[in-house]
Structure 1
Amino acid sequence: MQPRIPRQSARDQGVHRANDEAGLGAELAAVVAVARRRAVRDGDRQIDTAHLLHSLLETDAEARAAIGDSRKVVRLLGYLVQRSIGYGLRWQSSVEDSGAPSFLKDAEGWSPVAAAAMRGARERARRRGEERARGIDLLAALAADPQARAVEVLRRAGVEAAGLLAGIDHATAECVGDGGRVR
């Protein structure tokens, strides 16, 4: 009898890799580890932006607060759970790719769009003067690429990605004097 969950390598079990998690705060590193485990469990070849969004919404209160309406958060999680159990939004083992170049030095195991979102999160943190990216940085980076699977999930749940990104940008700009924390 085959095990239900494929055997995970040390990398898939969430062991930190310098090229992947460098520049991430502890909370965001945990989001990445959960997304990696979810991708392996689901039998996906790569972590994509929907895996990142799912893990982010489950673990990061600041990201959930940025969505605003709790009903939309629940709807988002519903779509993402359906996808993880094989129903609803499925991308049939295709690679998520918006044509953006991969920015991770070692992007193996990442969709090109997810790799670009991770870089975007780090860049947002640096622009705020912080060394480590947070979940809100990743949420903004996910919302910024209209070709991302995460944006498709947001759209289906009634969340306009451009409006979400504008709200995050506005809140972050207002709070920069407050250490960059979104209230």
Structure 2
Amino acid sequence: MSEQSARNRSDLDARLTVELASVVSGARRRAHRDGDERIDTAHLLHSLLESDPEVRAVFDSGAQVARVLGYLVQRSIGYGLRWYGTVEESGTVSLVRAAVVTGWSPGAVAAMKGAFDRAAQRGQAQAGGLDLLLVLASQRGCRAVEVLERAGVDAEALAERLSRTSWQG
């Protein structure tokens, strides 16, 4: 890992709540288990749904959460959504090209930056799970949105609902 990448990763870790740090750790383990070189937005979404009850609570139903998790599990066992061996790109990646973090897809870096920005808008120093979910659902073209939409979740409506909601994170 380069010195710059190590600084970027250290900065990222310092800006996470304990709960979101657990999500990132889970996403890192999931990526490793899946044989992926990088954490991507689908890894982040999977770990968020597994570990954060506040995130699960914003979905329309438990069945909707189960469908999303079903797609994510299919992906992790090599069935269904096939992204193995490709780097996630998204429409927001160009905004964060300079922020290279080893072991992270550009889309995942963009999502984390967006979560930090959302927390800062609320006057919080650290980002939480709902911050990250809002950004993931807003990030057109990312893997997390693809999973959400295949599971019947209107990602745009979810992001809009979250953006109107105030929470302490």
Question: TM-score scaled to structure 1, two decimals?
Answer: 0.82
| Match of residue 123, structure 2, among 112, 121, 129 | 129
Select the structure with the greater relative contact order (CA < 8 A; seq sep ≥ 6): 2
State the shift of 1:103 in Å.
6.1
State the shift of 1:20 in Å.
2.8
The 8 Å contact of residues 40 and 104 in structure 2, kept in 1 or not, is answered as yes
Aligned counterparts of 1:103 and 1:37: Cα–Cα separation in 2: 24
Written as runs of structure 1 = structure 2, the 5 A alignment for 1:5-20 is 17-20=9-12
Aligned counterparts of 1:30 and 1:81: Cα–Cα separation in 2: 19
Stretches of structure 1 that go unaligned for 5 or more consecutive residues are 1-16
| Match of residue 25, structure 1, among 8, 17, 24 | 17
1:158 partner SS: coil
Moved over 4 A (4+): 103-106
| 2:153 counterpart residue number | 159
Residue 99 of structure 2 is aligned to residue 114 of structure 1: no
| 2:48 counterpart residue number | 56
Stretches of structure 2 that go unaligned for 5 or more consecutive residues are 1-8
| 1:40 counterpart residue number | 32
Residue 58 of structure 2 is aligned to residue 71 of structure 1: no
**1:82/1:104 CA distance change after superposition, 3 Å:** farther
The structure with the greater share of residues assigned to helix is 2
User: Which is greater in Rg?
Assistant: 1
Aligned counterparts of 1:64 and 1:129: Cα–Cα separation in 2: 24
State the shift of 1:170 in Å.
1.6
Aligned counterparts of 2:53 and 2:97: Cα–Cα separation in 1: 27
| 1:80 counterpart residue number | 72
Q: Which residue identity does 1:49 align to in structure 2? A: T
Aligned counterparts of 1:46 and 1:32: Cα–Cα separation in 2: 12
State the shift of 1:21 in Å.
1.2
Task: Give the paired residue count.
Answer: 159
Aligned counterparts of 2:132 and 2:153: Cα–Cα separation in 1: 16
Percent of paired sites with the same residue: 55
State the shift of 1:22 in Å.
2.2
1:67 partner SS: coil
State the shift of 1:105 in Å.
4.2
Q: Which residue identity does 2:103 align to in structure 1? A: G
2:58 partner SS: helix
Q: Deviations over 1:57-85 (max 9, x none)?
A: 00001111111211010000011011101
Q: Deviations over 1:103-123 (max 9, x none)?
A: 674411111011000000000
2:54 partner SS: helix
| 2:6 counterpart residue number | none
Q: Which piece of structure 1 moves more, 34-43 or 88-97?
A: 88-97
Q: Which piece of structure 1 moves more, 59-68 or 31-40?
A: 59-68
